[in-house]
Structure 1
Amino acid sequence: MRRLINAIVKRNVQYLDLTWCEVEIPPILYMCESLVSLKLCSVVLPNLEFVSLPLVKVLFLEWVMFANDLALEKLISGCLVLESLTLCKNPMDNVKVLRVSSQSLLSFNYYGPGDNDLHDKDLVVEIDAPKLEDFKLSHQLTASFIIKNSRSLVEADIYIEFNFCPGKKFDPNDLPKRNIIHNFLAGISSVKNLIISPFTLEVIYDYLRCEPVPLYRNLSSLSVDFYDDRWEILPFFLESCPNLKSLVVESTHYPKGRTSILSRPRCLL
Structure 2
Amino acid sequence: MGRRQQPETVGVLDRINNLPDSILSHILSFLPNKEAVRTSILSTRWKYLFASSISILDFEHCLKNLYEEDVNNFMNFVDTLLFNPRERVHLESFWVNDYFVDDEDDYVPLYGWISTALSRGLKNIGINFINEKVPVLPTLLFTSHSLVTLTLFLHIKDDMKIPTNACLPNLKNLCLTNLAFEDGYSILKLISNCHVLEDLTIYDCCFHSISELNIHNLLLRRLILCFEHVCVRDYDYVMAIDAPSLVYFEYTGIVGKGYTLSNMKSLVKAEISISHFHEVHSERSATQLLQGICNVQSLHLAIEAFNETADGEEGLRLLPIPSCLLFHVKEIKISGVDGSKYAFEMISYFLNHAMVLEKLILRMINLLGKDELMRKPRI
Task: Using structure 1 for the length normalisation, give the TM-score.
Answer: 0.79
- Whether 1:58 aligns to 2:177 is no
- Whether 1:243 aligns to 2:356 is yes
Counterpart in 1 of 2:254? 140
What letter is aligned with 2:118? Answer: V
Task: Using structure 2 for the length normalisation, give the TM-score.
Answer: 0.58
Counterpart in 1 of 2:212? 97
Give 2:332's match in structure 1, choosing from 218, 222, 237.
222
Give 2:122's match in structure 1, choosing from 10, 13, 23.
13
Does the C-alpha gap of structure 1 residues 61 and 165 become closer, same or farther in structure 2, counting only changes over 3 Å?
A: same
Counterpart in 2 of 1:189? 294
Deviation at 1:213? 5.1
> Which piece of structure 1 moves more, 44-53 or 147-156?
44-53
Q: Distance in 1 between matches of 2:200 and 2:308?
A: 27
Does the C-alpha gap of structure 1 residues 200 and 122 become closer, same or farther in structure 2, counting only changes over 3 Å?
A: farther
The CA RMSD measured in Å over matched residues stands at 3.0
What letter is aligned with 1:258? Answer: P
What letter is aligned with 2:126? Answer: D
Q: Distance in 1 between matches of 2:249 and 2:135?
A: 30
Mark the runs of 5 or more structure 2 residues left unpaired by the alignment: 1-107
Q: Distance in 1 between matches of 2:361 and 2:290?
A: 20
Percent identity, please: 24
Deviation at 1:90? 2.8
1:16-165 correspondence to structure 2 within 5 Å: 16-20=125-129, 21=131, 22-42=134-154, 45-91=160-206, 93=208, 95-114=210-229, 117-161=231-275, 164-165=277-278
What letter is aligned with 1:165? Answer: H
1:159–1:196 Cα contact (<8 Å) kept: yes
Tell me the alpha carbon deviations over residues 54-98 of structure 1, each in whole angstroms, 9 at most, x when there is no partner: 221110000112122312211111211111111002358555532
Query: How many residues align structurally?
Result: 250
Q: Distance in 2 between matches of 1:36 and 1:104?
A: 14
Task: Write 1 or 2 for the structure with the bigger share of helix.
Answer: 2
Mark the runs of 5 or more structure 1 residues left unpaired by the alignment: 171-176, 261-269
1:201–1:234 Cα contact (<8 Å) kept: no
Question: Bigger relative contact order, structure 1 or 2, given CA contacts below 8 A and separation 6+?
Answer: 1
Counterpart in 2 of 1:263? none
What letter is aligned with 1:13? Answer: L
Deviation at 1:223? 1.3
Does the C-alpha gap of structure 1 residues 121 and 164 become closer, same or farther in structure 2, counting only changes over 3 Å?
A: farther
Does the C-alpha gap of structure 1 residues 188 and 194 become closer, same or farther in structure 2, counting only changes over 3 Å?
A: same
Q: Distance in 2 between matches of 1:196 and 1:89?
A: 20
Deviation at 1:245? 2.0
